[in-house]
């Protein structure tokens, strides 16, 4: 039963009555309605009798009136698809309770009581993967954001903090390993069964609860903290997967050390467990002392994982570990504050990865994600501030805006304060709010007091959605250059009028002739306009702006192609250099897509790009990892995002055309690069990783102009590969070509890795994201493959998310791609609404696509709107149409 569809009971609250008036409208929760919970729940005791088909849970809560809240005689315990089998208060059978929708309301006579409620759960039937569920024969939980209420009746909100004592018992053979948060305090045998008792000394909200039971083996190690505490570390996996856990363990130890050194944060238990599960809605989860991970972010070896996979594991292990302080020790008051933990923790994991590898390359990758995913979100119907004002289903707000823009907002504070003062700010934040459920406002105040920043106007970054656009115009006369800056924050749903925001811009001016750079300056543009004068330039200098991507904005600058080529070749800020090259290419592609480009102008544009690329290929000061970034053409999605309304087919044709023309112009150079890189033996060093990156890129370029020769080279690379990066790269190139080697390699790859789910995911994803003209037909056929299932989110994403992110296939002119995604949503929604709703945003782009396709996209959204949908999917569909 769906909570918001239940008609209000006579004693129901007003929210429920609203739902009854308009049964199709789900209730909106508003940030301004926050009220502290009337009851404290200092202690929770749980007793689990484990079984895959049925698990019985007795949950005992000690409750007392919250002196900081308005008193209430009843306590509302949230539930979701569970029923109270038995209710006792202070040990006595109790009848003074009723149901309000899925919630249990218990009336209590006094100020302090003990409430015990028994529930029965069916984990094997739980396909939503929220609450307690079965995965590969093991039992595991996922509680964030509101999954705990699918296990036990509880005030399931992050500002209710409790210490947990958990007893679990189950069959020894089915569940030899029994894990929970905190420390193992006792265990024992009981015939065929055994039991374990866990205690977590740190008060936590219910969303951080976790329990795992199953046949697992551990990679065990230890870490000694700066305070001398020895922490036992375990990474729990399926028996055969143990050899693929080494990288995750190394990443964990590096994370623990780094957080001590850079943020002064020490781990606070004697035990840290990580469990890998193959059915998981997200990447991983930071449950206290018991992180649960998608296998994708744990398992890796060179034979089955790419360099990108290795980096992803390092980043996610760090992210979840860092949550122990930014999220767990200091948690969120309510879900509107989600970016308090997520934005901050993403920034922390980004800084960590910058320190572990190439900082400039990591920065460019992070900006690419932001611009590829968050910018479109911010300019579409689902735009929301990093601290939203309302939601219907919180699962829909685990967005790139909350995570990635949230990280950028905190990064701007760091840029303005400098690393030392920023650290003083975070120290103060942790000190002030340790053990509390805090707000974004608390964080900003700690930054003001600790880092010495004035953030009065800066708070707008929390309140206003939309990506600011900064226009930069440089004038030159006499010996003075004058820079005119102005900003505009676009209207977003519910926010028609915006105020100017403080935008920290790192900038510098280059002397054109000497190529010398003036001092780098940090300018905060905080009004609508700002004018800055720079004397001492006999000739017009070249402006380098938003260096290091100091602000998450769009820059529109008046700059000649010539100046862009100058920056692309000479700028000493790696991001600015990358940016100049991207801008040069985007400009060229847009001009081509506009249909007004003369043959000569096109040739001229291609020549300018080829010159800049030639410089990148020839520059011996560049390492290959950075070279690989510079060689990457801007994505079709990014190009589309710069246009009012895009024609995806035209952008695709232009981009492929440019790729082919570059390959023809630089054939010798790409071949030489390929040869050089192919001679580098396998290693995990930056040099070898860089070589692998540029090798496959050279191949991809060559494939655009010389498909037959490239196919031969790719097949050879495929067949002789001694690692997954090379093998997948070669297969990626082949999959996009209409050649016999394509089929042979795909068959070989499948046979070689059959049974390894993560690698078979790659096999699906490669075909769904391919440049092949028949990609859509391939996806349709793969949906009927015996290895395809809607029950496993990784598999669903590997086929359909890859497809929805592949513009030339998804945007098939007849609308077939849109229909396939709508069909998927309808089929998946009853099984796993959280994953289904994630497929709505691609259709939600309809207003930004050319009219013909736009109408077809909208028609599919309307088709969805007419169906009986989950709250998750219904919210995204109605916002997308609204």
Task: Point out the residues that are catalytic.
Answer: 320
Q: Which two tokens stand for residue 194?
A: 């055994």
* Alpha-carbon span 384 to 734, nearest angstrom: 40
Three-state DSSP at 401 gives: helix
Question: Long-range contacts of range 359-368, CB-CB < 8 Å, 24 or more positions apart?
Answer: 360/574, 360/575, 360/626, 361/574, 361/625, 361/626, 361/628, 361/629, 363/548, 363/549, 363/574, 363/575, 364/574, 364/575, 364/578, 364/629, 365/629, 366/404, 366/407, 367/549, 367/575, 368/635
* Residue 285 touches which of Zn ion, ligand PHE, none (Cβ within 5-8 Å per kind): ligand PHE
**What distances in angstroms separate CA 586 from CA 201, 221, 537, 847, one per listed residue?**
55, 49, 30, 21
Helix axes 599-618, 648-665, angle to 10 degrees: 60
Compute the least distance from the CB of residue 796 to ligand PHE, in Å.
16
Compute the least distance from the CB of residue 319 to Zn ion, in Å.
5
* Residue 284 touches which of ligand PHE, Zn ion, none (Cβ within 5-8 Å per kind): ligand PHE
398 versus 763: smaller Cβ distance to ligand PHE: 398
* Residue 409 touches which of ligand PHE, Zn ion, none (Cβ within 5-8 Å per kind): none
197 versus 320: smaller Cβ distance to Zn ion: 320
Compute the least distance from the CB of residue 315 to Zn ion, in Å.
11
Q: Kindly report whether the peptide bond that precedes residue 75 is cis, defined as omega within 30 degrees of 0.
A: no
Beta bridge partners of 43: 62, 163
* Alpha-carbon span 731 to 719, nearest angstrom: 10
Applying CB under 5 A, the span of 120-128, 298-306, 335-343, 718-726 interacting with Zn ion comes to 335-343
Compute the least distance from the CB of residue 795 to Zn ion, in Å.
23
Instruction: Count residues near ligand PHE (CB under 6 A).
Output: 12
130 versus 768: smaller Cβ distance to Zn ion: 130
What is the x/- site pattern for Zn ion, positions 203-222, by CB under 5 A? --------------------
394 versus 650: smaller Cβ distance to ligand PHE: 394
Which stretches of 748-870 are assigned E, i.e. beta strand?
none
Compute the least distance from the CB of residue 844 to Zn ion, in Å.
24
* Alpha-carbon span 601 to 591, nearest angstrom: 9
Applying CB under 6 A, the span of 141-149, 380-388, 461-469, 488-496 interacting with ligand PHE comes to 141-149
Residues 539-578 that bind ligand PHE (CB under 6 A): none
Q: Fill in the DSSP letter of residue 612.
A: H
* Alpha-carbon span 33 to 29, nearest angstrom: 8
* Alpha-carbon span 735 to 180, nearest angstrom: 44
Residue 612's nearest CA partner among 592, 602, 627, 601 is 627
What is the x/- site pattern for ligand PHE, positions 292-331, by CB under 6 A? ---------------------------xx-----------
What is the x/- site pattern for Zn ion, positions 336-375, by CB under 5 A? ------x--x------------------------------
545 versus 801: smaller Cβ distance to ligand PHE: 801
Residue of this chain nearest to ligand PHE (CB atom):
282
342 versus 378: smaller Cβ distance to Zn ion: 342
403 versus 566: smaller Cβ distance to ligand PHE: 403
* Alpha-carbon span 443 to 461, nearest angstrom: 13
* Residue 46 touches which of Zn ion, ligand PHE, none (Cβ within 5-8 Å per kind): none
Residue 569's nearest CA partner among 533, 526, 622, 532 is 622
* Residue 268 touches which of Zn ion, ligand PHE, none (Cβ within 5-8 Å per kind): none
In the block, residue with structure tokens 């994708």: 296
314 versus 320: smaller Cβ distance to ligand PHE: 320
Residue 296's nearest CA partner among 349, 355, 248 is 248
Q: Which two tokens stand for residue 380?
A: 């579409």
What is the x/- site pattern for ligand PHE, positions 626-665, by CB under 6 A? ----------------------------------------
723 versus 834: smaller Cβ distance to ligand PHE: 834
Applying CB under 6 A, the span of 82-90, 137-145, 236-244, 563-571 interacting with ligand PHE comes to 137-145
Q: Is 227 left (phi over 0), alpha (psi -120 to 50) or beta?
A: alpha
* Residue 142 touches which of Zn ion, ligand PHE, none (Cβ within 5-8 Å per kind): ligand PHE
Which of 29, 40, 256, 282 forms a contact with ligand PHE (CB under 6 A)?
A: 282
- Within 10 Å of residue 122's Cβ, how many Cβ atoms? 16
* Alpha-carbon span 753 to 749, nearest angstrom: 6
Beta bridge partners of 44: 61, 164
Contact 55, 28 (CB under 8 A): no
Compute the least distance from the CB of residue 319 to ligand PHE, in Å.
6
Cα atoms in the Cβ-side hemisphere of radius 13 Å centred on 289: 22
Residues 639-668 that bind Zn ion (CB under 5 A): none
282 versus 864: smaller Cβ distance to Zn ion: 282
Using rule CB under 6 A, residue 286 touches ligand PHE: yes
Residue 747's nearest CA partner among 731, 736, 726, 733 is 731
Q: Is 91 left (phi over 0), alpha (psi -120 to 50) or beta?
A: left
Compute the least distance from the CB of residue 287 to ligand PHE, in Å.
9
Q: Which two tokens stand for residue 831?
A: 């099984």
Which of 103, 342, 366, 829 forms a contact with ligand PHE (CB under 6 A)?
A: 342
Applying CB under 6 A, the span of 37-45, 279-287, 489-497, 573-581 interacting with ligand PHE comes to 279-287
Compute the least distance from the CB of residue 337 to Zn ion, in Å.
13
* Residue 761 touches which of ligand PHE, Zn ion, none (Cβ within 5-8 Å per kind): none
Contact 555, 470 (CB under 8 A): yes
Which of 80, 102, 103, 144 forms a contact with ligand PHE (CB under 6 A)?
A: 144
The angle subtended at Cα 122 by Cα 121 and Cα 128, nearest 5°, is 105
Compute the least distance from the CB of residue 398 to Zn ion, in Å.
9
Residues 25-54 that bind Zn ion (CB under 5 A): none
* CB neighbour class for 786 (10 Å; exposed up to 12, middle 13-18, buried from 19): exposed
Compute the least distance from the CB of residue 329 to Zn ion, in Å.
14
Q: Which two tokens stand for residue 828?
A: 């998946």
Compute the least distance from the CB of residue 397 to Zn ion, in Å.
13
**Do the strands 39-49 and 55-65 form a parallel or antiparallel pair, or are they unpaired?**
antiparallel
**Do the strands 211-214 and 177-180 form a parallel or antiparallel pair, or are they unpaired?**
antiparallel
Compute the least distance from the CB of residue 150 to ligand PHE, in Å.
13
Which of 142, 487, 723, 806 forms a contact with ligand PHE (CB under 6 A)?
A: 142
What is the x/- site pattern for ligand PHE, positions 92-131, by CB under 6 A? ----------------------------------------
Contact 609, 658 (CB under 8 A): yes
135 versus 345: smaller Cβ distance to Zn ion: 345
Q: Which two tokens stand for residue 817?
A: 């791609």
* Alpha-carbon span 135 to 213, nearest angstrom: 10
**Do the strands 39-49 and 521-525 form a parallel or antiparallel pair, or are they unpaired?**
unpaired
283 versus 815: smaller Cβ distance to Zn ion: 283
Which of 212, 213, 285, 646 forms a contact with ligand PHE (CB under 6 A)?
A: 285
Residues 384-413 that bind ligand PHE (CB under 6 A): 398
Using rule CB under 6 A, residue 141 touches ligand PHE: no
Compute the least distance from the CB of residue 284 to ligand PHE, in Å.
6
Contact residues: ligand PHE, CB under 6 A: 142, 144-145, 281-282, 284-286, 319-320, 342, 398
Residues that bind Zn ion (CB under 5 A): 342, 345
């Amino acid at each position: 039963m769906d909570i918001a569809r239940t008609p209000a009971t006579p004693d129901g609250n007003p929210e429920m009555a609203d739902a009854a008036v308009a049964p199709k409208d789900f209730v909106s929760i508003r940030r301004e309605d926050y009220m502290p919970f009337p009851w404290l729940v200092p202690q929770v005791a749980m007793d689990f009798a484990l079984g895959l088909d049925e698990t019985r849970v007795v949950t005992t809560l000690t409750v007392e009136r919250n002196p900081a809240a308005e008193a209430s005689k009843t306590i509302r315990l949230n539930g979701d698809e569970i029923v109270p089998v038995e209710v006792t208060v202070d040990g006595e059978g109790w009848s003074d309770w009723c149901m309000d929708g899925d919630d249990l309301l218990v009336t209590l006579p006094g100020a302090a009581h003990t409430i015990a409620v028994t529930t029965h759960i069916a984990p094997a039937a739980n396909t939503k993967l929220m609450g307690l569920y079965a995965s590969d024969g093991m039992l595991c939980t996922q509680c964030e954001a509101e999954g705990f209420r699918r296990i036990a009746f509880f005030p399931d909100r992050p500002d209710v903090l409790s210490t947990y004592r958990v007893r679990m018992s189950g069959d020894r053979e089915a569940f030899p390993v029994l894990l929970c948060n905190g420390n193992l305090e006792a265990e024992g045998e009981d015939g065929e069964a055994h039991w374990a008792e866990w205690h977590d000394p740190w008060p936590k909200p219910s969303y951080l609860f976790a329990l795992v039971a199953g046949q697992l083996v551990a990679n065990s190690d230890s870490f000694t903290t700066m305070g001398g505490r020895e922490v036992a570390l375990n990474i729990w996996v399926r028996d055969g997967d143990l050899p693929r856990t080494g990288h995750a363990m190394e990443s964990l130890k590096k994370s623990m050390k780094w957080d001590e050194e850079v943020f002064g944060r020490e781990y606070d238990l004697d035990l840290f467990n990580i469990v890998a599960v193959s059915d998981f809605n997200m990447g991983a989860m930071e449950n206290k002392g018991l992180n649960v991970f998608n296998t994708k972010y744990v398992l890796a070896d060179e034979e089955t994982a790419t360099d990108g996979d290795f980096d992803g594991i390092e980043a996610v292990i760090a992210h979840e570990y860092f949550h122990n302080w930014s999220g767990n020790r200091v948690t969120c008051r309510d879900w509107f504050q989600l970016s308090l933990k997520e934005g901050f923790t993403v920034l922390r994991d980004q800084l960590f990865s910058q320190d572990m590898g190439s900082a400039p390359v990591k920065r460019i990758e992070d900006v690419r994600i932001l611009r590829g995913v968050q910018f479109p979100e911010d300019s579409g119907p689902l735009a929301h501030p990093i601290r939203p004002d309302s939601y219907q289903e919180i699962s829909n707000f685990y967005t790139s805006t909350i995570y990635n823009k949230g990280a950028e907002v905190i990064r701007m504070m760091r840029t303005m304060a400098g690393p030392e003062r920023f650290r003083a700010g975070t120290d103060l934040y942790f000190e002030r709010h340790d053990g509390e459920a805090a707000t974004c406002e608390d964080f900003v105040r700690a930054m003001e007091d600790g880092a010495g920043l004035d953030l009065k106007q800066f708070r707008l970054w929390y309140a206003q959605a939309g990506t600011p656009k900064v226009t930069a115009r440089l004038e030159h006369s006499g010996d003075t250059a004058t820079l005119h800056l102005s900003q505009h924050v676009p209207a977003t749903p519910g926010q028609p009028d915006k105020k100017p925001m403080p935008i920290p811009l790192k900038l510098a001016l280059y002397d054109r002739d000497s190529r010398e750079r003036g001092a780098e300056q940090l300018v905060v543009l905080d009004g609508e306009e700002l004018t800055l004068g720079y004397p001492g330039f006999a000739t017009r200098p070249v402006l380098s702006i938003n260096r290091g991507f100091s602000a998450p904005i769009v820059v529109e600058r008046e700059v000649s192609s010539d100046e862009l080529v100058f920056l692309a070749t000479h700028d000493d800020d790696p991001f600015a250099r990358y940016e100049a090259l991207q801008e040069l290419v985007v400009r060229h592609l847009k001009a081509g897509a506009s249909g007004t480009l003369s043959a000569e102008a096109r040739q001229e544009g291609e020549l300018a790009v080829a010159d800049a690329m030639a410089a990148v290929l020839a520059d011996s000061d560049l390492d290959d990892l950075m070279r690989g970034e510079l060689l990457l053409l801007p994505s079709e999605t990014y190009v589309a995002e710069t246009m009012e309304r895009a024609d995806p087919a035209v952008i695709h044709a232009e981009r492929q055309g440019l790729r082919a023309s570059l390959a023809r112009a630089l054939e010798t150079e790409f071949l030489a690069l390929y040869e050089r890189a192919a001679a580098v033996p396998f290693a995990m060093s930056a040099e070898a990783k860089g070589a692998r990156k540029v090798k496959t890129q050279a191949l991809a370029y060559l494939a655009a102009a010389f498909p037959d020769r490239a196919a031969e080279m790719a097949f050879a690379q495929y067949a002789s590969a001694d690692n997954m990066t090379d093998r997948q790269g070669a297969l990626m190139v082949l999959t996009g070509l209409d050649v016999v080697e394509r089929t042979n390699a795909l068959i070989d790859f499948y046979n070689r890795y059959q049974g390894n789910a993560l690698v078979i995911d790659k096999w699906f994803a490669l075909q769904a994201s391919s440049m092949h003209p028949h990609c859509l037909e391939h996806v349709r056929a793969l949906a009927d493959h015996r290895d395809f299932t809607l029950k496993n989110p990784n598999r669903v994403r590997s086929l359909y998310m890859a497809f929805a992110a592949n513009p030339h296939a998804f945007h098939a002119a007849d609308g077939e791609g849109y229909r396939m995604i709508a069909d998927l949503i309808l089929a998946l929604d009853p099984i796993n609404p959280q994953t289904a709703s994630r497929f709505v945003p691609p259709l939600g782009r309809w207003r930004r696509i050319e009219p013909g396709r736009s109408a077809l996209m909208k028609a599919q959204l309307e088709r969805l709107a007419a169906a009986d949908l989950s709250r998750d999917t219904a919210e995204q569909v109605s916002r997308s149409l609204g």
